[in-house]
Structure 1
Amino acid sequence: MALHGKVALLTGASMGIGEAIASSLVQAGANVILFSRSEDKLRQLKDKLAVNGDTKVTYRAVDVGNYEEVDAAVKSSIQEVGHIDILINNAGLAIGAPKIFSDLNPSDIMTMNNTNINGYMFMTHSVLNHSMMNRKAGTILNITSITGLEVPPFPGEAVYHANKACQEAFTNALRNELSGTDIRVLVLRPGVVATNFHSLRVGHDKKMYDEFIEGYEPLIADDIAQGAIYMLQQPLNISVKALDIVPSAQRSINVFDRTWNERRE
């Protein structure tokens, strides 16, 4: 599917993987709607991306865990830019590690559940009802994680792991429910990516972060963005239903080849 002229709505757009995907979408000629909590970062990103006069870039400061905010922002975005052809559910966070589940603050549990589960469902519900279902066309790309399929590599991941497993189940069930339409539902699962996300998930503990990526080269946000664009550019009759993108040294979620860098010296 050629992306030129298509309208893509992207959540978690202000930094990391979201920012990289937004940039790649604009380079491909798509019109982009950016959702994130930080209006300042969104404004800066819009200014950075809007150098291409052939595309439209707009944004809304939105808490994806608040349905009223989401629905209002989706409706106003459609009025401004037009029907949404692509929804990329990318917003997400992991907090609290290395605390085990019983030691987590309930507020952290609710924050993760609200963003990682409600956020995906609220965004999808609103975009389907205001844009995709009446045309029976579109693509929904959920950015999940290999964490949803395997046991996480360190303590403190119980909630995030459960969130990602829920996203996988939601994606698969939604795909079946949308049979009889031309709406594709896809999932992209990153492995270890060197972004603020991975620093946040370990409470910005530099020692823990450095130990996690010791001996190998993690992915960067652009690697995931390239994968997303590849999935979205496939013709309508092809669905890359699920794509795992991991560092080659990450043999599974728990097994890392920590001699990877050594062999390249």
Structure 2
Amino acid sequence: MKNERLNGKIVVITGASGGLGEQIARQCARNGANLYLLARSQGRLEQISTSIREQYKVKCTTIRLDITQYEQIPSVFQRIYEEAGKIDVLVNNSGYGIFAEAENIKIADVEGMFAVNVIGLIACTKEVIPSMCKQQSGQIINIASQAGKLATPKSSVYSASKHAVLGFTNSLRMEMSIYGVQVMSVNPGPIRTTFFDKADPSGSYLENLGRYMLDTEKVAANIIASMLTNRREINMPRWMDIAGTLHTLMPRVVERVGRKAFFKK
């Protein structure tokens, strides 16, 4: 499906060196957007950028950025504004998780998840707010997770970080609405990417729930179709979103009925 609204627009994507970020980049380019791809892996970014430029004939610039190095973020966005003049869409995609019971989680991993998933996301967002408010247009897309709506065993800290993303996004949406700036959260279930190489080195999650994994291209296509619209949030898959809603309404029942499934990772 084509999204004509993206043609000629400037889209900035964090965590663009693979997985969902790469797919979002490729599908944005297919729709005529010019891109700035940000991630730590400069080599991988260059490979993706070269492929995108050759295939889609759009501008695609890479900038190495570790979003936990907060002092670097302002200069990166200043460069983008100097080169492109504006940013139409910011996709805060950088994120990772570590699955471990609360008793066993390392404080370094707690700090790391919040540094990337929450503080880095907020720091990048702050860099586009003044300009988007001034131009009274633009969109901020925050990649959260169904884990931010329904926490399960061994994901306490990861879920907490995504709860924080949703809280920030929901507040920001109201703040930005008076300026005509759109804010959308994306809440996918597990996606078949390298995310689980780090989140679950044992492989038990993939072994137990691999058949329920979402496809990166389908998730990206849903996001692309909603770019520069006033859609509030994307929830995938449908059954997991229903489970999260039921948990809000009947938490004790859902936790009892779903107990066996929740402990499968």
TM-score w.r.t. the length of structure 1 is 0.86
Which residue in 2 is equivalent to 1:69? 72
1:116 equivalent in structure 2 = 117
The alpha carbon displacement at 1:82 in A equals: 2.6
- Kept in 1: contact 2:137–2:179 (CA 8 A): yes
Paired residues for 1:173-212 under 5 Å: 173-202=171-200, 204-212=201-209
How far apart are the structure 2 equivalents of 1:80 and 1:224? 30
Moved more, 71-80 or 10-19: 71-80
Amino acid in structure 1 at the alignment position of 2:176: L
* Match of residue 232, structure 1, among 213, 227, 234: 227
Query: In the alignment, does 2:84 pair up with 1:93?
Result: no
Unaligned runs of 5+ in 2: 245-254
Partner SS state of residue 167, structure 2? helix
Give the aligned partner of residue 142 of structure 2: 142
Deviation, 1:160, is 0.8
Choose 103-112 or 26-35, whichever is displaced more. 103-112
| Alpha-carbon offset, residue 24 of structure 1 | 0.4
Greater per-residue helix proportion: 2
Cα–Cα, structure 1 residues 233 and 250, in superposed 2: closer, same or farther, change >3 Å? closer
SS at match of 1:101: coil
Is 1:33 paired with 2:36? yes
Q: Tell me, what secondary structure is at the counterpart of 2:243?
A: coil
The aligned residue for residue 81 of structure 2 is 78
Does residue 242 (structure 1) correspond to residue 237 (structure 2)? The answer is: no
Cα distance in 1 for residues equivalent to 2:74 and 2:26: 25
Deviation, 1:211, is 1.8
Aligned-residue CA RMSD (Å): 2.1
Amino acid at match of 2:190: V
Distance 1:251 1:169, change over 3 A: closer
Structure 2 Cα separation of the partners of residues 164 and 80 of structure 1: 32
Unmatched tracts of structure 1, length 5 or more: 259-265
* Offset, 1:246: 1.5
Do the aligned partners of 2:11 and 2:35 also contact (CA within 8 Å) in 1?
yes
Aligned residues: 245
Give the Cα–Cα distance (whole angstroms) in 2 for the partners of residues 32 and 117 of structure 1. Answer: 23
TM-score by length of 2: 0.86
Q: Deviations over 1:138-184 (max 9, x none)?
A: 101111111111122x32x1111011111111011111112321100
The list of structure 1 runs, each at least 4 consecutive aligned residues, that deviate by more than 6 angstroms after superposition, is none
